[in-house]
Amino acid sequence: MTELLTRQEDGVLWLTIAREERRNAMNAAVIAGLTEALVAANADRGLRAIVLTGAGEKAFCAGADLATGRSFKFDYSEPRQGFANLLRAARATHLPLVARVNGACMAGGMGLLAMCDLAVAAPHARFGLPEVKVGVFPAQVLSVLQGLIGRRALADLCITGEPVDARQALAWGLVNEVSEDLDGAVHRLLARIVDKSPAAIRRGLYLMKHLEGLPFEQSMAFTESQIGLFALTEDAAEGQAAFREKRPPQWSGR
């Protein structure tokens, strides 16, 4: 698939939307390709992280490709739709998802950003939800974005449709870091991930995602049941042995 480039390097899967001439806007093939890639990656114990980005330097993802004229035309006999399925696949993924925001991040692109666990942006990146400018609203994006930033900031993006710069995105918590050296920042972040326990991260992401939206008592009951399972993993035994023996741990990922 030429519109979605994939490569693996040192345990990291890189996914690049390669539609630079369309500002890396998503079409049905890209959405399906991303969904399939996430499902496959989640089953691959050799992977430690996934990086999502766009080709070139101008756009991370401009959202749906409006030039097709079919962006909001669905098969209404199907209860589940393509972009929503992509967000579902991301939520079910227990590998760290990292957004490398190399430029404009708009509309559905904000959904891709929000579905990632961590994000690094270039200083020239812009962020926005311009759907109201074409008579629609960022409905599915709200499912992943509303827990990420405050309601006032979210209302501003949705109702005005006006973009914000990378500095504001950082202040709002949309991204973890803004860096002139985008690739250097991404690789530094990855280095801080891949030396940690794969089992702890995998189970930890499952835990974090399951807790979202749970009331306090249900949250506490679930975490009570989970903490003992962390301790039963091979990585937990190795990590504690390495700590006592003052040596680097040798993770099995189990």
Q: What DSSP string runs through the chain?
A: -TTEEEEEETTEEEEEE--GGGTT-B-HHHHHHHHHHHHHHHT-TT--EEEEEESTTTEEE-SB-GGGS-TT---TTSSS-HHHHHHHHHHT--S-EEEEE-SEEETHHHHHHHHSSEEEE-TT-EEE-GGGGGT---HHHHHHHTTTS-HHHHHHHHHH---EEHHHHHHHTS-SEE-SSHHHHHHHHHHHHHTS-HHHHHHHHHHHHHHTT--HHHHHHHHHHHHHHHHTSHHHHHHHHHHHHTS-------
DSSP string, 159-217: HH---EEHHHHHHHTS-SEE-SSHHHHHHHHHHHHHTS-HHHHHHHHHHHHHHTT--HH
Binned at pLDDT 50, 70 and 90, residue 70 comes out as low
pLDDT recorded at residue 66: 79
pTM of the model: 0.92
Domain locations in the chain? 4-194, 198-245
Within 10 A of 32 (CB to CB), how many other CB atoms are there? 16
Binned at pLDDT 50, 70 and 90, residue 93 comes out as very high
Structure tokens at 145: 């974005």
**Architecture, CATH, for domain 4-194:** Alpha-Beta Complex (3.90)
In this structure, which amino acid lies at residue 29?
Answer: A
Mean pLDDT across the stretch 100-108? Answer: 97
Question: Is 245 marked active-site?
Answer: no
Laid out side by side, the sheet with 164-165 consists of 59-61, 104-106, 126-128, 164-165
Q: Which residues pair with 27 in a beta bridge?
A: none
C-alpha 159 chain-centroid distance: 24
Given its phi and psi angles, is residue 98 left (phi above 0), alpha (psi -120 to 50 degrees) or beta?
beta
The answer to whether 118 and 148 are in contact (CB under 8 A) is no
What confidence tens digit (pLDDT) does each residue in 155-205 have?
A: 999 999 999 999 999 999 999 999 999 999 999 999 999 999 999 999 999
pLDDT recorded at residue 72: 67
Question: Cα(212)–Cα(171) distance, rounded to whole angstroms?
Answer: 22
The answer to whether 198 and 249 are in contact (CB under 8 A) is no
pLDDT recorded at residue 215: 94
Binned at pLDDT 50, 70 and 90, residue 73 comes out as low
pLDDT recorded at residue 80: 74
Laid out side by side, the sheet with 49-54 consists of 4-9, 12-17, 49-54, 97-101, 118-121, 177-178
pLDDT recorded at residue 239: 94
Average pLDDT, the chain: 94
Question: Cα(100)–Cα(74) distance, rounded to whole angstroms?
Answer: 30
Which member of 20, 36, 78, 131 is catalytic? 131
